[in-house]
Structures are given as structure tokens and as C-alpha cells.
Structure 1
Amino acid sequence: MKIKFLGGAGTVTGSKTLIESNGVTILIDCGQFQGVKALRELNWEPLPVLPSSIDFVLLTHGHLDHCGWLPRLVAEGFHGKIYCTSPTKDVARLVMLDSAKIQEEEAELANKGHYSAHEIAEPLYTVKQAENVLPMFKVIEVGKPVMLDAEISAVFTNAGHIIGACSIELSLENKVLVFSGDIGRDNDVLMFPPVRPKKGDYIFLESTYGNRLHPLDDAKLELETYINDTIRNNGTVLIPGFAVERVQSIMYLLWQLKKEKKIPDVPYILDTPMGISVVSIFNANLKWHKLPAEDITEMCAMFTMISDYKDTIDAIYDKQPKVVIAASGMLTGGRILSYLEYYLSMESTSIIISGYQAEGTRGRKLLDHAAEIKMRGKYYTVGAKVYEIESLSAHADQEGLLEWLSALEAKPEKVFLVHGENEAADELRLKIKERYGYNCAVPLIGQEIEI
């Protein structure tokens, strides 16, 4: 069989792994590249195989970097089946439609403002093209084999990363290939712990935090401190949120703090239509997370939920101190940019970063103490205080990734470290070799291997 790394290798975005076996072609994830321009430009490149030749797409979860290229794949000729869990189907639908809407809006703004490098800016795909993907989804049950072919089957197991996220065990040619997807944490605020694989001849393991350990800091205490300090100075707190899971985790912690009377009685605003919709997915899939339905209802009552962009404008120009959660989590687009255009230069503003920031994103630049940030063709001075709460990450850290391998009953033939920047992947490679003695490799984008 041949395996080709089309994305998510040497980077945390654009996850796509192609498997060709006995005339069957399978794509594990179909993610969009984010971050530095060189990566984003890959979104416009055709795949090295015809999309029409791909029989199946298996989705680990619904984040943009794992499902966000599906509309392009379908537009270029894919007509097979897309297998995933029920929550992943719902999340991917929201993510793709939101992505398409943002791209259409940004292309329109670029054309009006004449700040595109192209004569006419175009979206990567349209809302209509995103909608064309939806009939192709096939929902699977966790733990039950899905027969893709007479001799090829796939089993999905809970990965604990976001609602619906799974690892995938693919059995073919008398081998078991395990694709970790993104692995969550054993002590996540909302998600259940990830299931560790017991067998696997070849492991494809994410390495996002392969060179880092999450601090043992109390995320609730950090939120409490940053919010109280900011409101005391009549400032506004901006929390760029990943609309799936991170937004809900932050809502939950803020709700707890408010109940405990540890944060002030100011407006708490949730300004992400997709994040609001994800709350409904949590309500419809109670077995996938720790929150009872009554807690979700009470938590939501604390927030002013904004869907209409006119209300966003009103919230931005409301001068009273407030706490705003808005997408996107890496500041690559979405309504958080509208808030930043107004508040970024103010010293009374606090920005709380709560998740991984890919290389080249505005979020990473803020964490790297950039003096100014470019948004929608203009540069804005950074006057705001920028904080990071690493302990809120939805990804396993280095120790968590090592522990995920601990249940294997036999030594795998090889472990491939994907979905990580080079330094993180290479350090994890050394740690795996030291602890388990496994043969590890860090593949490059475009690399092909034969098994």
C-alpha cells in the first residue's frame, strides 16, 4: 500500500493523509491550511491525485484544519462517502458553512478596499459549494467496524479532543493503521478522556504539543485574575475562542466563577454564531460530554448571545466594561477582528489567548509580542495586554501523547509523527524512542511511503 502525506506534516494545519490499497483510495481528514502565507497558498493547489479517484474520506473531527478543504475536494470531483460520528457531521457542517461565509465576505471586502494582491479576490469556496458536501456524510457508531471494502474496515474510538472527535483504526492488507486525530486531555473540563489504542502496526500520531508540558496553573483562577484586573481599570476583556469546545469550556468556567461571585456583574457576551450553534450540538449529544442539560441552560442564561452583526457593532461601541468571547480562536478571521480593530490599541484592553496558535497566525504574533497586527489591509498598534492560558488547551501535551501510546500490547513497526511543527515533532520522536524504543519518523508534506 502507498501512503502520502498531503498536509498536517511539519505543520499543525491542512491535515490530509492519502492511502492507496488494492485499488481503493482513502483520505484521512481533508483539512484547510492556515497560518503563514506559504501554507495558505497550498489551499489553492490541486491534489496530486484526482479527487474523483478517492473512494472514501474518514474524518477524525470537525475542526477547520481537518474538514475545511472538503468543499474544494467535492468541487474538484470527489463523489464518494465521508464517514464520521454524528456530532462531527454537525460540527463540520457549521465549520464549513462559516468558513465559506467568511471567505465570501473577506473577498468582497478586499475587492471593495482594493487591498487584495489579485485583480479580483475570490473565496476558496462558496457557501453553495460547502452545502454540496452535506449529502455525502455517512454517520458511524463508535466502536463498530465500518466495512469500506471486502477486506478493509475502520473503527472509530473516542479521542477526547472536541465533541465527536475520534481516532481511527484502519485494518487492511493484514495490517492495522492507527490515526490518532487530535488527542484530548485526561482532565478536560468538558470532554471524556481519550481511548488508548491496544494494537497498531503503524501509528500516525499528532504532535501539536510534542515539545511542551501544559502548566498546572488553575485556569479558573487565571480567568478570575485577568477579568477582575481589567474591569477594575474600566477595560474590556476579549477572548478569541475556537467555536467548537473551547468557547463552551470558557463559558462553563465563567459561569462557575459568576456563581461563586468571583467575577463582577458586567455584560458577558458570546459573539460567535457558530459557537452558539455548537451549544445546541452539546444539548443534542449529552453522552459525548460531562455537562448535564440543566447546566447548559443555566450557563447560557448568563450570556448575551449575538448573532446579528448589527448587535456586534453596538457591543463594540458600548463603552462600559465587558467580557467578550468571539471567534476565531487564532484570530485568522471572524468577528473577533472587528473587536480588535477598535480595542487592540487600548492599554485598558486585555486579550486572553486560550488555545494553540499556529505559526503565522495573528494569535501567534500577539503571543510573540508583535508591536502591530495587520487586519483587513490595515496595520493596528498593539496596546492591549495579552495573556495566555495554556492549561485550557484541548490537546494532550507531551506526557499525554506518550501516555496515549502506553496501552499498545505489541511494538508497532513504525510511528509517524504528524500534525506538529518540526521542533515539536522531533522532540516527541526522541521521547518516544527513549521511553518505548519505537521506530519513529517525522514525514514531510508530499512525502510518500510504501508499506
Structure 2
Amino acid sequence: MKIKFIGGSGTVTGSKTLIESKGVRILVDCGLFQGLKALREINWEPLPILPSTIDYVLLTHGHLDHCGWLPRLVAQGFAGKIYCTSPTKAVAQLVLLDSAKIQEEEADKANKEQYSKYEKAEPLYTVVQAENVLPFFKVIQPNLSIVVANDITAVFSIAGHIIGACSITLSLEGKTLIFSGDIGRDDDVLMFPPTKPLIADYIFLESTYGNRLHPDLDVKKELESYINSTIEQNGTVIIPGFAVERAQSIMYLLWKLKTEGRIPNIPYILDTPMGASVLDVFLENMQWHKLSANDCHEMFKMFRIVSEFDQTMRIIEDPQPKVIIAASGMVTGGRVLSYFEKYIGIKKTTVIIVGYQAEGTRGRKLLDGADEIKIYGKYYPVKAKITQIEGLSAHGDQEDLVNWLSALKNNPKCIYLVHGENLPAEELRIKIKDKYGFKCTVPFMGSEIEI
């Protein structure tokens, strides 16, 4: 059996792991690279194998860095099945269509304003190409063993993180391989704790926060403080939000603060068309999260949900204090860029970063203290207050990741640390080795192993 690390090694984006066994090829996740230009450019390159030779894709969840390359895969010949849970299918459809729409819009804008270095800017894929992916999805139930092919079986187990997210246990050639996907937190606001593996020969574990512990702080109190201090100055609060799950977590916390009378009665805006649709996914999949139907409805009523861009422009020009949640979470695209064009240069603006910021993204640059950021070919001075609430991350921290391994009844032959930058992965490797004595390694992107 061969395992090839096509993406998501040494980086938190572009997750793709290929398994070859007795003539069957399975791709676990098919993510888009984000952040550093050198990584983004890989999105335009062909896979090291022909997509038409891949038989199955197993999707851990619907975030762009795990499903965002599927339109390219299908356009280049993939004709197999894409296995995932029902919420993951719904989220992935929204994410892919939104991604395609943004890419088409940004290519058009680059061509009109002539800031592309290419003669003609092209989207990585179109809305039509994203739509072409949808017939390939095949929904499976969690915790049930399914026959993928021949003697290969798979079980999807709840991973927390976002709605529908799962780890995947593959049984083949008498061996058990577990692909963690992204592991959520044991004490997440909305999601249930991740299921711990019991038996595994080989584990492919994410390491996003492999070198960090989430601070033990009251995130509601932090939100309350930032919002009240900004509104007192007649400023605007902008929260770049991942449209799936983080946006809903922030909405929930803001709703609780408002019902407790701890934040003022001002406009609270969710400006992400996809985020609005994800609210429907929550209502249609109540068993996948902690909220009641009544909580969902009451929470939604607090927010003005924006879908059309002309509404966005009216909100931007409205001088009254407000709180805005807008995608994308790493400030790589989407509506949040339009808000930044207006507000990032205003001192009384507060930007609250709430999720992981990959290397090379605007979000990471802001956290690193950038004096200016580039948006649509122009530079804007950063005068807004940039803050971070680490306790709102959807990823488990080092302690959560190490604890996820605590129920194992055997010693795995090897744990491969993926989906993390090199330093966090290396520190997690040492931590796991010191605690359990398990063999751990950090594979290079493009490397291949034989089992």
C-alpha cells in the first residue's frame, strides 16, 4: 500500500492524501491551498497523478482547505464517488459555489481595473465547474461501516470542529488507518466533543495548533469588552468570520450577551451569503450540534442577514456604530475586504480575529502588526485596532490533540502529523512521543510512504 502526501503537509491548507491499494486509489480530502503565493500557485498545477485514475474521494468536512479543489479534480477527469456526511455535503456545496463566485468576481475586477500581472485574469474555476461537482457526492451516516471497494471499508466518526466534520477510519489489507481531519475542541460552544480512536495501525493527525494552548479566558467577556469600548467611541467592529461554524459561534455568543443586557442595541450584521445559508444547514441537522431549534430561531432574529452586494455598500456608507461578521475568516477574499477598504484606516475601528490565520494571509499579516495591507491591487494603511480572541478557534489545541489519542488500546506503528506548519507539527511530535512513546513523524509535502 502506498500513501502520498499531495497537500496539507508542512502547511494548514491544501489537504490531500492519496492511498493506493491493490489497484484502488482513494483521495482523503481535496483542499485548496491558501496563504503564501507559492502555495496558492500550486492550485493551478496538475496533480502528480491523473484525476481520472482516482476512484474515490473521502471528505472529512466542508471547509475550503479540505474540499476547495474538487472542481479542478472533476474538470480534469475525476468520475468516481465523493463520500461524506449529509451536513458536509450541504456545506461543501455552499463553500464551492461561493468560492467559484468570488473567483469569478475577482477575476472580472482585476481585468476591469487592470491590476492583474497577467494579460487576462482567469478564475481558478467557474460556478459551472463547481456545480459539476455536486452529482458526485454520496452521503453516508456516521458510525456505520461502509464498503468503499472490494475489501476496503470506511467509518466516519464525529470530529467536532464544524457541522458534519468527521475523522475517517479506513480498513484495508488487514490494517487500520485513521485520518483525523480537523479535530474540534472538547469544550466547543456549538459542536460535540470529537470521538477518540480506540485501535489504529497508522494515524494521520492534524497539527494546526500543535504548539499552542488556547488561553483559559472568558471569551464572552472579551467580546463584551471589545464591542463596548468600540461603540463608546462611535466605532465599528469587524469580525472576519469563517462562514461555517465560527460565524454561528460568534452569533450565539453575541446573542447571549445581548439577552443578558451586556452589549448595546445597535445593528448586528451577518454579511456573508454563504453564512446565511449555513444557518439553514444548522436547522436541518439539529442532531449535529448543541443548539435547540428555538435557540437557533431567536439567535437568527438578532442579526440583519445580508446577501446582496448593494446592501453591503449601503451598510459600509452608514456611519452609525455597528458590529459586522463578514467572510472570509483569514481575510483572503469575500465581503470583509470591502469593509476593510473603508474601515481599516480608521482608528476607532476594531478588528477581532477569531480563527486560525495561515501563513501569508492578510489575517496573519494583521496579527503580525502590518502597517498596511494590499486589497484589490491597492495598499491601505492599518490604523484600526487589531485584536484576537484565541478562545474562539474551531481547532483543538495541543492539549486537545494529545488527549484525542488517550483512548488508544494499542500502540500505533506510526503517527503522521499533517495539516500544520512545520514548527507546530514538530512540537506536537515531541509532546506525543514524550507522553505516549508513540512513533511520530512529520512528512514532507509530495513525499510517499509504503505500508
Aligned residue in 2 for 1:211: 211
Deviations 1:39-73 (A, max 9, x none): 00000010010000000000000000000000000
The answer to whether the aligner puts 1:91 opposite 2:96 as a matched pair is: no
Q: Within 2, Cα distance between the matches of 1:308 and 1:75?
A: 29
Aligned twin of 1:80:
80
Deviation digits for residues 15-41 of structure 1 (CA, Å, limit 9, x no counterpart):
000000000000000000000000000
Q: Does 1:183 align with 2:183?
A: yes
Distance in 2, matches of 1:194 and 1:208, equals 16
1:97-108 matches, within 5 Å, as 97-108=97-108
Paired letter, 2:398? Q
Give 1:22-421 correspondences, 5 Å limit: 22-421=22-421
CA distance in 2, matches of 1:407, 1:44: 41
CA distance, structure 1, for counterparts of residue 410 and residue 297 of structure 2:
46
Q: How far off is 1:426 after superposition?
A: 0.1
Post-superposition Cα deviations, 1:330-371, rounded to whole Å, max 9, x if no partner, equal: 000000000000000000000000000000000000000000
Aligned amino acid, residue 334 of structure 1: G
Distance 2:184 2:382 in 1: 32
Shift of 1:117: 1.4
Query: CA separation in 1, counterparts of 2:350 and 2:422?
Result: 31
Deviation, structure 1 residue 400: 0.3
Amino acid of the structure 2 residue aligned with 1:146: I
Q: CA separation in 1, counterparts of 2:122 and 2:214?
A: 39
- The CA deviation at 1:150 is 2.1
Q: Distance in 2 between matches of 1:199 and 1:11?
A: 27
Which stretches of structure 1, 4 residues or more, deviate above 3 A after TM superposition? Answer: none
In structure 1, the gaps of 5 or more residues are none
The Cα shift of 1:148 comes to 1.2
**AA of the residue aligned to 1:434:** D
Q: What is the rounded CA distance, in whole Å, between the counterparts of 1:448 and 1:119 in structure 2?
A: 37
Partner of 1:448: 448
Q: Deviations over 1:417-445 (max 9, x none)?
A: 00000000000000010000011110011
Q: Deviations over 1:260-280 (max 9, x none)?
A: 000011110110110010000
Unaligned runs of 5+ in 2: none
**How far apart are the structure 1 equivalents of 2:10 and 2:401?**
17
Q: Tell me the secondary structure at the aligned position of residue 103 of structure 2.
A: helix
Q: Which amino acid aligns with 2:175?
A: K
Distance 1:324 1:393 in 2: 18
For 2:337, the aligned partner's letter is: L
Q: Distance in 2 between matches of 1:282 and 1:321?
A: 29
CA distance in 2, matches of 1:390, 1:146: 37
Please state whether the residue corresponding to 1:411 is helix, strand or coil. coil
Q: Compute the TM-score of the two structures, normalised by the length of structure 2.
A: 1.00
Cα deviation code 1:139-163 (max 9, x no counterpart): 0010111101221000000000100
Instruction: Give 1:100 shift.
Output: 0.2
For 1:19, the aligned partner's letter is I
State the distance in 2 between where 1:306 and 1:36 align: 30
| Residue type of the alignment partner of 1:372 | E
Work out the CA distance in 2 between the residues paired with 1:59 and 1:34: 18
3-state SS in 2 of match to 1:125 = coil
SS at match of 1:169: strand
Query: What CA distance in whole angstroms lies between the structure 2 residues aligned with 1:48 and 1:267?
Result: 49
Q: Secondary structure at the match of 1:20?
A: strand
User: Which amino acid letter does the alignment assign opposite residue 378 of structure 1?
Assistant: K
Scaled by the length of structure 1, what TM-score is found? 1.00
Secondary structure of the residue aligned to 2:449 is: strand
